Amino acid sequence: MQRRAAALIALSVLGSVSVIAVATGTTPAMALIVESQNGTVSQLDIPAENVSADERVLVNADLSSALATDRERLRATVDSGAFGRAFEASPNRTSRIETIQRTLDAIVSESKQLREQRNEAVRAYNRGEYSSEELFRELARISASAGGIRDRVTTIETTVERSEFSMPPDVAARLSSVEAEVVSLDGPLTQRLVRTTRAERPAGRLSLRSSEDGIVMGAVDGETYLREATVWTARAETGENVFGSDGTSPLVSVHERAQSVYPWAFENLVSNPSISGFGDSPVYPVSLNHAHGELETYFDGRTTDVFFEVQRLSLSSLPTTTVATERAEFFSIEVNETTSRGLLSVSVFDADSGDPVSATVSVGNETVGTTGSDGRLWMLPVSDSETITAHNGEGSVSVTVS
């Protein structure tokens, strides 16, 4: 599906900011943490006092999840075919427009239901009614449904284009706005979760932080940290689009808002940001590259807040603080923590020479991975009660992070 909106190139950035910046929209549940003491990008997060679950969880292959996603994909194919037949059977222009509008009505209604189902699935997990496996199964099904909606919109576009039918501007704008309805349902980390449950990629762990208001997931992939955050209470279903209400371009207003929310990112730009929209939707995506990685974030014009955010961070570029060290007979271990929700860098060295050591790193009874040629391994946060152990055939060393 093609996004029908102009892009805005930022021409200026804010000066240095050294205080914690919190979004000033109408939704207090959203908090953006600016870890300016160590200098890195803001992150959409859940306030600590609202957190219901905060843990590392294993994502594994799940036959039930694979079957559920297959059903959703098949349903999307059937629905796309039904639209094509109905459109071709329409006797005149008015009938064709009505066919498109009815299909869009159904898609928008389904998108809203999917968002509500996602929210309730997370809340059921918070209440202990869902296991993590059941939560992932539901998220995977919803993601597949969101992908099916995108496929159906693409079918509408291609069917109309082949027929040389001229779509009215208001209908075209509505069609373009559909992507905004599902954008928070199938982000890159959720798609990775789907591939894992379908056994299309190896099992792995991710961090999961949730509340009644949202969910934050993160995963380490080599030297990259992928983070996906959604705070659905920062998005309003109805109301006035505040961006541009003073007579300026909405994209200019979004640019100014993005600068105030992500000051460090704008101060450390690697390339100009892209700011765009989805047809007549009040949702505006902002994407940019900064010194520590990539940011993709979505503002709701009704609240002026961020409700969905994806970050790809280069772990080697993030500032770190040493939080634990230990020396044993053969090895020494050093644990460094980033400012990005406690991500850890574990380094193992020869106790005498200080040379990096290849060692297997475990947390309790769980094997996390093996240190590389530099003796280092990146891993998700651990709780205060857990012990990190590095070992190989020569010996071992353990440390507890507090």
**C-alpha–C-alpha distance, residues 106 and 153, integer Å:** 12
Q: What does the buried/exposed string (b/e) look like for 274-286 if buried means 16 or more CB atoms within 10 Å of the residue's CB?
A: ebbbbbbbbbbbb
Same domain for 170 and 105? yes
Q: Residue 203: inside a domain, yes or no?
A: no
Domain shared by 82 and 178, yes or no: yes
pLDDT confidence bin for 14, thresholds 50/70/90: very low
Residues 100 and 167 both lie in one domain: yes
Minimal CA–CA distance to 341: which of 44, 65, 78? 44
Within a domain: residue 2? no
When divided into structural domains, the chain yields a total of 3
Give yes or no: residues 245 and 365 share one domain: no
Task: Summarize pLDDT for 112-137 with one digit per residue, the tens.
Answer: 999 999 999 999 999 999 999 999 99
| β-bridge partners, 350 | 331
Q: What's residue 32's pLDDT?
A: 60
What average pLDDT is seen over the chain? 88
165 in any annotated domain = yes
* Structural domain ending residue among the three candidates 291, 317, 343: 317
Q: 112 and 184, same structural domain?
A: yes
Residue 272 lies in a domain: yes
Q: Does residue 387 lie within any of the structural domains?
A: yes
What pLDDT shows up at residue 386? 87
Confidence check: pLDDT of 24 > 80: no
| pLDDT for 180 | 95
Banded model confidence at residue 101, pLDDT cuts 50, 70, 90: very high
DSSP classification of residue 254: H
Backbone angles phi, psi at 166, to 5 degrees: -90, 110
Q: Clarify whether residues 162 and 283 are in a common domain.
A: no
Query: Which of 317, 332, 361 finishes a domain?
Result: 317
Average pLDDT estimate for 256-284? 94
- Identify the domain boundary among 317, 337, 355: 317
d(CA 47, CA 336): 24
184 in the same domain as 62:
yes
Q: Which domain holds residue 340?
A: 320-400
303 falls within a domain = yes
Let me know whether 38 and 100 are in one domain.
no
Both 245 and 355 in one domain: the answer is: no
Residue 56 has pLDDT above 60, yes or no: yes
41 and 119 co-located in one domain: no
User: CA torsion angle for 241, 245, 250, 256 (degrees, to 10)?
Assistant: -110
Residues 134 and 168 in one domain: yes
